[in-house]
Structures are given as C-alpha cells and as structure tokens.
Amino acid sequence: MTLPRTTRRTASCATSASATGRRPMVLLRGKPGAMQAPGGGEIQRLALAEALPSVGVDARLVDDRPRQAEDDLPAGTDLLHLFGSLPEHLPPVEAARRQGVPVVLSTIAWFALADSLREPRPMVNRLAACARFIARAACPRLPSWRRRLYQSVDLLLPNSNAEAQQLVRYFQVAPERIHIVPNGADERFAEADAEPFARAVGAHGFALYAGRIEPRKNQLHFLRAMRGSGVPIVVLGDVVPGHEWYLAECRRAADPQVRFVPRLPHHDPRLASAYAACGCLVLASWYETPGLVALEAGMSGTPLVLPEGGCACEYFGPRAAYVRPNDLPGIRRAVLAALRRKRSRTLADLIRTNFSWAAAAQATREAYEGILRRHRR
C-alpha cells in the first residue's frame, strides 16, 4: 500500500458498469446534516463529485437528510461511495447489500490513545474510551459498530499509508480490501489575488488558522501560545454546533489583534485570497488526515505549520514544520519561524503534481474499477 505520488492515465472505467459501455453511476453519500458545519470530509465528497465525471464516472451526490434503513438506491446505481466512519452508514450499507450494489468507504479516521483523554467529556467517559482503545489494540476481533462497518463494505479508501495501517492493526481489515486515495486541493488555489482578503482583515502576512472551531482543531492552545507575540492572526471558520463554549474560551484567550472570520464557502474567491494574503498556515490540531486547508494553502507554496499527529508528514515531508499540540513554546517558535520564510516553489510543485483533485479522482476511479470487475465476476 503506497500513497500515490504521480497521476496516472488508465483506461476509462466507463466499460466497468456493464457490457454496454455506459458510465458507471456512483452515489456519493456523507453524514446526514454535515453541511451545517462542513469540514474536510464534506469538501472531499463535493470535490470528487465535480472531478469524477472528467475520468468517466457518473457521480451523483446523495442529499444529507436522514434516511431510513429500508430506503432503496435509485435504479441503475452501480456503486455506493460513503464518506466518514459513522454508525449512520450501517443502514445504507445494508440497503445496498439487499440490492446487490457494492459499497466503498472513505474512512477519514484516526486512532490514538491520547485522543481519548483529550475529548471534552467527563473524566469517567474519557477513561472508558481509553479502556476501549486498549482493548481494541489488544484484541482487534472485539465487536463494535466500526468494525462491523469496515468489514461489511467492499473496499476501504483511507487517505494515507498510516491510516491504512491502523485499519489493518485495529480492525483486521485485509490489505487487499484497502485502496489508498490521497486527499486533494483545487488548482485554483495556486494563483490568487491577496488584496481582497487583506483589505477585509486589514493585514498582510498574518498567521492563518483555518478550520472548524472545536477542541480537536486546538485553536485554544494556538491562541495561548501566541499571546503577547504581536503577530497578526486570523482564525477562519465556524464553531461546530455544541462547541460554542470552546469558541468563547478561544475569544477570551485571544489577543486584541486576533480576527475571527466566519467560514468562507469553498468556492468563494476570498478563501483563495486568504491563503495568498497570509504569511503562514497553522494547524496545531491533535491530528490531521492530512488537512485539506494545508493542501489548499500549500498549492501556492505558503509556509505550513502542521501537527505531528496524523499523516501530514506523509504528504509534506520536510517541506512543512511540525508541532505537538500541547507544546505551546514549540508552537510559538514554529509560527514565528514560518512567518520569516518565503513561499516554497518546491512545496507548490509537489502538491500540484500529486495532490490535485484530478489525481484523487483518478485514484478513486481505479478503486471503482477493481470493485466493479470483482462484482461482475
């Protein structure tokens, strides 16, 4: 299992659906209600829906409203593609099975013992989560909704080798049931006008922290780390429903010069302008897989400060700085150093070559082809 490093041209999968040569019809379904606070998984689904037709796939988005287990898939559906490791996906998997439709799952998952302790829940719940993790690590055969989901779909599509290895280790997924599909970024982020966003926030060269506001993203530690630095900071994103208390904590920790800017729609030109105007992109999250905003900002060579946890280093290697999310002095040093660096042509070329949505669509198409061939047999 390897993370794809080059885009490859292969025969169109238009003939995979049937002997008639029509394009396979694939339904792309995410978490019900996810667009209320969209994150990387939702952007991944929407971006692939746009990119897949160019490589011979009839990709159709399924609405995000809750559906019943007995709901049938539309006539002519060749494959169901689910996004995210969610218990809500079990009913549609069962419905697809009844209709003889194969299912693939973009897992978008990460597992670490320390994460169980960091969740904003009562200590007894966190200790119980730690116990479950230890038990899972010691005995991957233990039943759970997650194991049932991973074992019931036809193919798993993690974003990295590290994520794939976790699926094998903790859930005994056979390696041949895994096909790595890298995350991507829109090539429009490679070139953008910095002025519209810079005028809106009154600054150039600021530290940009982009993403949903929630404990996992760790904005609070970042703001505490940068307190008194004098660095202009923009926190870009909406609070996840139910975590309004966390946003309040972030505002209390922020210096007066910190600007909190609501989430910008993915196709809003001001988002590309924000990446062009900033001096560095910061994600001091507890983990990322690898973080779509890092790929988007990196398209123009923006200096990156990313978390050690997750798989960011698998994508960016030595072309980014990495920090521990609870190391406040380390975060501060890394951000100040990044703001002194120039934009990197090498980083920009790496991402444009290997991590565009066109490359992700081709890797996804290859996964579809293999499953549809096996299904026909």
Shared-domain flag, residues 231 and 295:
yes
Q: What angle do CA 122, 125, 128 make, to 5 degrees?
A: 150
Shared-domain flag, residues 208 and 345:
yes
pLDDT in tens, the chain (377 residues): 455 444 333 334 444 454 456 799 999 999 876 555 567 788 899 999 999 999 999 999 987 665 544 567 888 999 999 999 999 999 999 999 999 999 999 999 988 777 666 666 677 777 787 888 788 888 888 899 999 999 999 999 999 999 999 999 999 999 999 999 999 999 999 989 999 999 999 999 999 999 999 998 999 999 999 999 999 999 999 999 999 999 999 999 999 999 999 999 988 999 999 999 999 999 999 888 888 999 999 999 999 999 998 899 999 999 999 999 999 999 999 999 999 999 999 999 999 999 999 999 999 999 999 999 988 87
Residue 101 lies in a domain: yes
Gap between the Cα atoms of 102 and 116, Å rounded: 33
Shared-domain flag, residues 149 and 77:
yes
Shared-domain flag, residues 290 and 260:
yes
Q: What is the number of domains present in the chain? A: 2
Gap between the Cα atoms of 230 and 366, Å rounded: 49
DSSP codes, 67-107: --TTPPPPTT--EEEEES--GGGHHHHHHHHHHT--EEEE-
Q: Which range of residues forms the domain containing residue 290?
A: 187-354
Torsional sign, CA 157, 62, 359, 283 = negative
